[in-house]
Structure formats: structure tokens, C-alpha cells
Amino acid sequence: MNKIHAAITGIHAWVPEYILYNSELEKMVDTTDEWIVSRTGIKERHILRGEGQGTSVLGTEAVKGLLEKTGTKPEEVDMLICATVTPDMQFPATANIISHNCGIKNAFSFDLNAACSGLLYALVTASKFIQSGTHKKIIVVGADKMSSIVDYTDRATCVIFGDGAGALLMEPTTEEVGIRDSIMESDGSGMPHLHQKAGGSVRPASHETVDAREHFIYQEGQPVFKFAVTKMADVAVEIMERNNLSANDITYLVPHQANLRIIEAIARRMGLEKEKVMVNIERYGNTTSSTIPLCLWEWEKQLKKGDNIILAAFGGGFTWGSVYLKWAYDSK
Ligand code: UT7
């Protein structure tokens, strides 16, 4: 019997309409468009506005679009994983809410938290269920309303993040395409550098935690930057080497979009020219778990069956990883 591989067979993404430009941030905090663009590469980001609008709104739009685009009936989906650090609420899982909104009734749905590496963690998890033969149609959705945990008085973080969602359909194939290899890692000693101080079981919400602004992202930019560059490049180069891939063999690198300078450093270590690196950070900022699907979605029409693609991500935890896949279809 031929070996079963897990392949991405469809992709869709969604961002809210409202755009927060650097010029607007200049009025909110002590910053400049010049600083933001030169230090991060970001010009604008999309923000979900309105009362009672949570991450499931973003995820639902992405999944509904994916079902429609791929001609998949909701009842055919047998698993849905939502990668997020901004769930609608502590429980139930946002994945359950998205499934309900989309009429997905025959799936087991759960959230996965690996911060900015969440999409890769979810993709690799889903691929194992596909390869085992137990599941045939899995949706992996990365969705984050980062604006719900961003402190818009903190200039070092508020300029970076945006809201968005991206969804992938994964199915089995016996062709030599799909996920070929993965390296996933984590190191909990990174927690002090990037976390949310309150709202969990250590410091439940109280007047004190709210007054101290502890429900927002806390990030020490420089140590995170250094770790991100080193670890993401290490795994991306390792996955190239152990699959005998030279820079010439790679069609695209799809890096997590946290900072243009991080992306450029990784591409340099891999020996890749600019044209082979997907970058759209200037229009979306860091959307955490949806950066990678937002790139794949925008480049989908240029992708061809058999293209060698390397995904790489780094995030809070610390978590990081790289996936090597062969693209499974030609876009119509
Ligand atoms: O996606 C998950 C993982 N996260 C990341 O990968 C993020 C990694 N870190 C970064 O991308 C960068 O460290 C930041 C974009 C967060 C910050 O850039 P940086 O070049 O590392 O700046 P810095 O923190 O070293 O700060 C340099 C200066 C400081 O001023 P002083 O102390 O030198 O006077 C900051 O206060 O820039 C100042 N600064 C700003 N100035 C204008 C920080 N944010 C701003 C701002 N506008 N928005």
C-alpha cells in the first residue's frame, strides 16, 4: 500500500476592513512612521472593531470562505484545530464556536496555543491524524484578535500587531506531495521575555491587575528578536540540510511575519534571494497565528504542484519550528 501523506488542498484568509495606519499611531503614542517602517517593516494593520466581536468572528469568516472555495460540505470536516492566543473566552474553545458558526457538526474541535508558532504546531498535529488514516478532512485555522491584548499606550508593542485569520484544508494523498518533514521545538525558559501577566490562574483578573495594565502583551523586544533570528534560522537551515535542499531547490520561504529585519536575517542564512521570500508584513503587521496562511493565500495563484516550500515560525513560549512541504495543487 502507498504511504499516506498529508497535503494542504485549499487555503483562505480573512482580515477585517478597518485599517490602522502608522499615521494614526503617531497620534496615539510617541512614535513616527519612519521608526516603525525602518525597525519593523510595517505600514498598516487591520483591526476588528465593534462590541462583542472576538477571534471567532475572524476564524469563522476564514473557514466559511475555505469551505465555499474548496466545495467542502461542513459535515465532511472531521477535525478543526484553531491556533490562537486570543480565544473568545477562557472556555469553551474558540474552535468549538467556529465549528458551530460554520455548521461543522461531525468534527472534534479544539484550540492550540503555541503563540506565533501556533499555525505550524496545528499543521503538524493535523498532519499526523491524516497520515494515521483516521481523519480525512481537517481544517487548521489560525485566528487572532491581537488588538484585544495590545496596550495602545505602549509604543514598543502597539505598532507591531494586527488582527486576522487564515484557514487551511488538509487531506490525505498518496502522491509525493504535502508535508515532507517538520522540526518543532519549545523552551519554557523564554516565558519572562514574552507573556501576558494576568488573566490566567496565577493572577486571575482583579481591579489590581486591570489597574496595572497586566492583561496586555508584555514583551522584551531585544531578547525576543535575538532568539527569533537564531532559532528560526537554525531549524530552517536544518530542515534544508536533512532533506538535501539547496537554496536553488526552494521555491519559497514562508516566514512568520514578526519583523522584516528578522525575515531578512533568516533568508540570508538560508542563502535565499528576496524573490523567494513571502513578505506581506507591511500591510498586516504581526497577526500571530495567521501570518503564514495570509502569505500562502496571497501567493496561492503563483504556486505550482511540486513547489518546495519551507515554513518557519517563532513565538511566545518560546516556541519555534519549521516545516518542509511540497505544494499539492495548481491554482485555477
Ligand atoms: O512574533 C512573536 C515574537 N516577537 C518578535 O519576534 C518581536 C521581536 N522584537 C522586535 O521585533 C523588536 O525588538 C521591536 C520591534 C519590538 C523593537 O525594535 P528594536 O529595534 O529592538 O528597538 P528597542 O526595543 O531596542 O528600542 C530602541 C529604542 C528605545 O529607545 P531608547 O531607550 O534607545 O531611547 C525604545 O524606547 O526605540 C524606542 N522605541 C520606539 N521609538 C519610536 C520602541 N518602540 C518605539 C516606537 N517608536 N514605536
HEC profile of the chain: CCCCEEEEEEEEEECCCCEEEHHHHHHHCCCCHHHHHHHHCCCEEECCCCCCCCHHHHHHHHHHHHHHHHCCCHHHCCEEEEECCCCCCCCCCHHHHHHHHHCCCCCEEEEECCHHHHHHHHHHHHHHHHHHCCCCCEEEEEEEEHHHCCCCCCHHHHCCECEEEEEEEEEEECCCCEEEEEEEEECHHHHHHEEECCCCCCCCCCHHHHHCCCCCEEECHHHHHHHHHHHHHHHHHHHHHHCCCCHHHCCEEEECCCCHHHHHHHHHHHCCCHHHECCCHHHHCECHHHHHHHHHHHHHHHCCCCCEEEEEEEECCCEEEEEEEECCCCCC
**The pLDDT of residue 331:** 84
Report the distance separating Cα 54 and Cα 198, nearest Å: 19
Average pLDDT taken over every residue of the chain: 97
Low-confidence ranges of the chain (pLDDT < 70): 1
Report the distance separating Cα 271 and Cα 245, nearest Å: 11
pTM: 0.97
**The pLDDT of residue 55:** 98
Of 96, 113, 259, 286, which is the active-site residue?
286
Residue nearest to atom 43 of ligand 1 (CA): 156
The answer to the question of residue 74 being in a domain is yes
Contact 50, 109 (CB under 8 A): no
Ligand 1 proximal residues by C-beta, below 6 Å = 31, 35-36, 39-40, 116, 155-156, 159-160, 221-222, 224-225, 228, 258-259, 262, 286, 314-315
**The pLDDT of residue 61:** 98
Residues 161 and 262 in one domain: no
- Where in the sequence is the domain holding 70, given as residue range(s)? 5-176
* Pocket perturbation via mutation, ligand 1, pick of 86, 159, 219, 225 by most ligand atoms within 8 A of CB: 225
Of 5, 46, 102, 116, which is the active-site residue?
116
Residues 213 and 320 in one domain: yes
Nearest to 79 by CA among 34, 125, 14, 44: 125
End position of a domain, from candidates 113, 146, 176: 176
Residue nearest to atom 38 of ligand 1 (CA): 156
Q: Quick one: which atom of ligand 1 is closest to the CA of 315?
A: 2
The answer to the question of residue 331 being in a domain is no
For residue range 234-286, list pLDDT tens digits in order: 999 999 999 999 999 999 999 999 999 999 999 999 999 999 999 999 999 99
Which residue has 461542513 as its cell numbers? 74
Residues 185 and 131 in one domain: no
CA of 318 to the centre of ligand 1 (A): 18
End position of a domain, from candidates 129, 151, 176: 176
Residues 44 and 191 in one domain: no
End position of a domain, from candidates 159, 176, 193: 176
The answer to the question of residue 332 being in a domain is no
Contact 84, 55 (CB under 8 A): yes
Residues 226 and 292 in one domain: yes
Report the distance separating Cα 56 and Cα 58, nearest Å: 5
Q: Quick one: which atom of ligand 1 is closest to the CA of 221?
A: 13
**The pLDDT of residue 1:** 64
The answer to the question of residue 308 being in a domain is yes
The answer to the question of residue 9 being in a domain is yes
CA of 295 to the centre of ligand 1 (A): 24
CA of 235 to the centre of ligand 1 (A): 25
Residues 85 and 19 in one domain: yes
Query: Is 256 marked active-site?
Result: yes
Residues 111 and 165 in one domain: yes
Residue nearest to atom 28 of ligand 1 (CA): 156
Query: Is 158 marked active-site?
Result: no
> In CATH, what number is assigned to the domain containing residue 232?
3.40.47.10
Residues 224 and 151 in one domain: no
Q: Quick one: which atom of ligand 1 is closest to the CA of 261?
A: 11
The answer to the question of residue 166 being in a domain is yes
Residues 155 and 195 in one domain: no
The answer to the question of residue 100 being in a domain is yes
Residues 17 and 92 in one domain: yes
Residues 12 and 148 in one domain: yes
State the total domains in the chain. Answer: 2
Query: Is 286 marked active-site?
Result: yes
The answer to the question of residue 285 being in a domain is yes
Radius of gyration of the chain (CA): 19
Residues 238 and 166 in one domain: no
For residue range 6-48, list pLDDT tens digits in order: 999 999 999 999 999 999 999 999 999 999 999 999 999 999 9
Contact 282, 44 (CB under 8 A): yes
